Chain A
Amino acid sequence: MLSIGIDIGSLTTKTVVLNNGRFLASVVSETLDEAEISAQVAMTKALERIDADEDPLRFVVTTGAGAKGVSFSDRSKAITTCLARGIAYCVPEARAVIDIGAESSTVVKTNERGKVLDWANHDKCAAGTGIFLQQMAKLMKLSFEEMSELSETASKGADITGTCAVFAESEVISHVHRVPPTPMPEIILGIYLSVSSRIKTMCKRIGANEKIALSGGVALHKGLVRTLEKEIGQPLFVPDDPVCVAALGAAVLAGEEIQKETAQ
């Protein structure tokens, strides 16, 4: 039986298909107005990628916004559980995962079996999330790659608050319009530092002190990863496909459910 995990995010929906723990496919598609349709489209696309002779039976686990309302979902699971299982699958040595999604950031502390020991999340403000970084890139008319490269040349970061995205934005504007303006690399590093310090606090809060992995689209933001590593004081594990970690975990959980049902 195929185990399918679907993670419905605010911007993208991720799907992973496994068969008996064996990876078959993953797909990232746009999140549409309704969770049901987003999940359906994403799953169809993922199934198109696998061989026609794979088992037609499937067990679907959904997670993320509106996951419970998906009619063809066999189970819905918390994003924290999915992140823990997903990271244990792709980075077995990790004991914590930092997930920076579009609209929220979460740190999950895990054990060697991919079980959640504790978590901290922040979803009250865009500060420290992917959307915030996107806004900043737009404001400075730079791509993520350009931001990353420029941050490398900064000797220090500008002061930018990590607690409120709106204040942070006006601080960036005032740095740009200052006479003389704060150099762009310093502003970018300041932005990265503001995100990193927020994440570091969450790690400290739950005692996620070592073997930390990174997931979510922001893990592809190399400049931020480097800053975060410096802030946390250790290298971070970045899986090959950081975007699909929660969907992968959902697929792993689907596999566990299949096993439970078979055992009964």
Chain B
Amino acid sequence: MKKAANNKIQSIVRACRIILRMIEADPNTRHSQKMYYRMLLQYYTRLRDARENGQFIAAHTVFFPAEILLAMDIIPMHTETTTWMTSLFTGECGDILAAGARLGMATEICAPHRGMAGAFASGALPRPDVMVWSNMVCDNTAKSGELVMDICGCPGFFIDRPFKDSGLEKTYMAGEIRDMIAFLEDKSGKKMDYDRLSTIVERMDRQIELTRQVNELRKNVPTPFSPLGFLELLTIDYLFPGQPESIEYLETLKAELEEMVKQKKGAIPKERFRLMTLFIPPMYLMSFLEKLSVESGAVSVIEPFFTFWGEGRLDASRPVEAVVEKAYMIPETRMYGPLGESALEAIKKCAREWKVDGAVYYADVGCRHSCATIKLFKDALAEVDVPVLTIDCDVVDQTVTSEEEVRDKMERFFELLEDR
């Protein structure tokens, strides 16, 4: 498996190693950033070697409670993130998207899902032992699991997370999780270790708390965290929920940011525009966006749907219920189902408290679930006098938008902000 020509996991491992070698030698790189890349390397190396080591692999979609897998010593494979990482680190997802197209995946479907299907079909990702997935956070996700089961010929389990969050639905979802644990125990032959799950939940609670504290520090002017650093926060939640590495990373980051605040140092030389990021920027444009941020003094200070956790704590003494609780606290689930006033209030609160000048909506054209919110968000932000730039794009499909287009739109927007 390691030597397969199109092995995306191996490509990510290789890219992580190269980046790490570069940044380890750079005295200006944040220590936490080095830790972050080490974590990525660890995740993908473990995944790459799982088969050879006789480990059980569960592929899972975004926001699936990977805590369960980790507590059972099952190797998780986060499918969407792996598609992104492929785009981010190799700059190219064309081959897996083409493989998806050969399966009949329409270009109108969001590319992480097209890519995921194509990657499994073409052998670019290892065949999982099971597929586990949920309807968090969109309909594409709800369907993708079945497709992966079909392509890989593996068994699977779907968790239903109801839209509403009264006690009844949470009890129902806890039942779903218990059924899934039974399914995993049956397929993997491994037993759920509830003590371990409690420990993971306890750490997850700390992880959320630390993310909140990091966000508090980002309120400072100038903001101490890098322009697109929020992707690190997002990724560690996706790949390392409740893991000691996440806590160590967040504590280090927090200390670094505190020090910068003390020294009144900003993440970029001259902060001019404090941005709110709505949805995910195209991965293949990350280095361009980083460069543009520094050039133009624009920095993302808050992301209501990625880093701004809902209120609440996780009770480690009832770990299954805590996993359910988390499913209702995840920032992005504010977009799940009917939006409701609370989601709109959350973005207005973020705009006010983080002193946001403008918001950038990376409108993933294949994501009907998020695109349907554009007007609502725009209207809500208009109430707090925050203009919104909408960039039609795709997280990984390079054919949707070009660097030139994004630069043009961003520069127009910065001019608008400057001219106000």
Contact = CB atoms under 8 A, between A and B. Distances in A.
Interface string B389-420: 00010000000000001001001100110011
Nearest to A256: B419
A222 interface: no
B384 to A, nearest CB: 14
B420 A80 contact: no
Please classify how large the interface on chain A is, using the bins under 10, 10 to 19, 20 to 34, 35 or more: 10 to 19
B3 interface: no
B387 interface: yes
B375 A80 contact: no
B416 A81 contact: yes
A9 B419 CA distance: 23
A78 B412 contact: yes
B375 A116 contact: no
Contacts of A117: 387, 416
Interface string A59-87: 00000000000000000011111000000
A164 to B, nearest CB: 14
Q: Which one of B387, B388, B419 has the greatest number of beta carbons of chain A within 10 Å?
A: B419
Given A115-B419, A116-B419, A117-B387, A78 B375 contact: no
Contacts of A116: 415-416, 419
Contacts of A138: none
B375 A205 contact: yes
Contact of B419 (A81, A123, A205): A81
A78 B411 contact: yes
Interface string A107-124: 000000001111100011
Contacts of A207: 382
A80 B412 contact: yes
B144 to A, nearest CB: 27
Contacts of B420: 115
Contacts of B387: 117-118
Contacts of A78: 408, 411-412, 415-416
Interface string B179-198: 00000000000000000000
A81 B412 contact: yes
Contacts of B375: 205
A119 B419 contact: no
A79 B408 CA distance: 10
A200 to B, nearest CB: 15
Interface in A118-169: 118-119, 123-124
A120 to B, nearest CB: 8
A79 B411 CA distance: 11
Contacts of A124: 392
Q: Which of B405, B411, B412 has the most CB of A within 10 A?
A: B412
Contacts of A81: 412, 415-416, 419
A116 B382 CA distance: 14
A27 to B, nearest CB: 25
A116 B420 CA distance: 8
A124 B412 CA distance: 17
A124 to B, nearest CB: 8
11 contacts: A78-B415, A78-B416, A80-B412, A80-B416, A81-B416, A81-B419, A115-B419, A115-B420, A117-B416, A119-B412, A123-B405
Interface of B: 375, 382, 387-388, 392, 405, 408, 411-412, 415-416, 419-420
The 3 nearest A-B residue pairs measured at CB: A78-B412, A116-B416, A78-B415
